[in-house]
Copies of this chain bind each other. A is one copy, B any other.
């Protein structure tokens, strides 16, 4: 089986023009089938402010009302996605930008209203790999923003980490599927203030202990839950670290294993 790399990048790369350019240059050199997933960075919040669209938070989580969804669609699927695609093309990587609506690739359910109404937020129901496989077989690189749809005409805001893990899982029967979460740190750190204190391996035995000891908390929890979800659903390799882990074999990072 061929290897497919699913690589997710976040704000530390997207919000920095130089970092993004350097990353895309390096990304373009990765051989074999690959899919890039990008988050939104700070641009959507900036645009919302400029347009005087109020950021609504419930229990510390952003609510996606119709205005916010419009902004997210413009920024994620428009500005960020197309600029990434254009830069990859400049580096001779034949990219095509995708939302989950394009090619009906990612179908979500609008999150049901229980105590909190998150608005136009989607939980992934199904990734349709058929069209993507055709493209990958033709040496084309899909670039996903974190917007999905409900197949009834509604776009939905979806967590980019989740989009990446769901894509990696859906391809695990076709490829040796590998999932890389790139962020600003070298990996999961023992000591959040020491960037060298990378925990090189986390497995399902050590994970609960790391939570218990307060080493993994807050924002790292959903990220690691996505990792374990992927590794427990046939994804062959799951890593967290800076994007350097993709290009330098000696670069320290965290690998998640069963």
Contacts and interface: CB of A to CB of B under 8 A. Distances in A.
A223 interface: no
A106 to B, nearest CB: 11
B50 A147 contact: no
Interface in A98-147: 98-99, 101-104, 131, 134-135, 138, 140, 147
A87 interface: yes
B89 A78 contact: no
A154 interface: yes
B99 A103 contact: no
A209 interface: no
Interface residues of A, number: 41
Contacts of A38: none
**Stoichiometry (number of copies):** 2
A138 B147 contact: no
B51 A155 contact: no
A149 B140 CA distance: 17
A95 B94 CA distance: 19
Interface string A19-52: 0000000000000000000000000000100110
Contacts of A97: 77, 97, 99, 101-102
Contacts of A78: 73-79, 81
A153 B93 CA distance: 11
A56 interface: no
A102 B85 contact: yes
A251 interface: no
Given A96-B131, A138-B131, A152-B90, A85 B101 contact: yes
Contacts of A252: none
B140 A103 contact: yes
Given A95-B102, A97-B102, A153-B90, A79 B83 contact: no
Contacts of A83: 73, 155
A94 B105 CA distance: 10
A119 to B, nearest CB: 16
Contact of A74 (B79, B85, B89, B103): B79
A258 interface: no
B51 A153 contact: no
Contacts of A140: 103, 131
Given A78-B78, A86-B153, A89-B149, 15 more contacts: A73-B78, A77-B78, A77-B97, A82-B99, A82-B147, A85-B101, A86-B101, A89-B101, A90-B151, A95-B102, A96-B96, A96-B98, A96-B103, A97-B97, A134-B134
